[in-house]
Copies of this chain bind each other. A is one copy, B any other.
Amino acid sequence: MNQVQGDPTPQPERLRQTPSWLITQSATIAHRLVGEALGAVGAKRYHYALLSALEQFGPTSQAELGRRCSIDRSDVVATVNELVEQKYVERAQDPGNRRQNIITLTRNGSCRLNDLDRVLADTQNQLLDGLSETQRNNLVEALGSLLDHQSSH
C-alpha cells in the first residue's frame, strides 16, 4: 500500500552521485531510444557510424573504419555485410594492398545517411528534452573531453 505521499521510490544517493552510474544509466536510455528509432527504419547504430565515416573520409578499409568508429573488427565485418546486402556500400579488394578491402559509399548509401540523420536528430531532442541549451552544451563538451582524454590513454 506504500506511503501516502512523498516517496516515489527514489534512487540510492550513492548511485546518484557516481558519475559512471549516471553515464551508464543514461546510455541505457539513449541506447533504447536510438535502437527503437533506427530499428523502425531497419537500421542499427553501427550502420550509421560506418556510413558517417565513409561520407566524411571517402573510401576506407575495414580496419580503418573500425578504428575511426571504435567498432571491433568482427563487428565491422558483420555490419559491412549488412550494408553491402542493402546496396548502401560496396566492398572491393584493394589492388595496391590485397590484404584489405576498400569500402565505398554508394549513392543509395548517401541518401540513406541523410534519412538516418533526420531520424537521429529527432531522437536527440527526445533524449535531451528536459535540458537547457547550456546543459546540452556542457554535456557534449564534458563527454568530448572525457573521450579525448581516455582515448589518449
Contacts and interface: CB of A to CB of B under 8 A. Distances in A.
Judged by DSSP, the binding face of A is helix
A128 B146 contact: yes
B11 A69 contact: yes
A56 B135 contact: no
Category for how many chain A residues contact B? 35 or more
Number of copies: 2
Interface stretch (A15-23, A78-86, A87-95): A15-23
B19 A140 contact: yes
A49 interface: yes
B144 A130 contact: no
A40 to B, nearest CB: 15
Contact of A145 (B25, B49, B131): B131
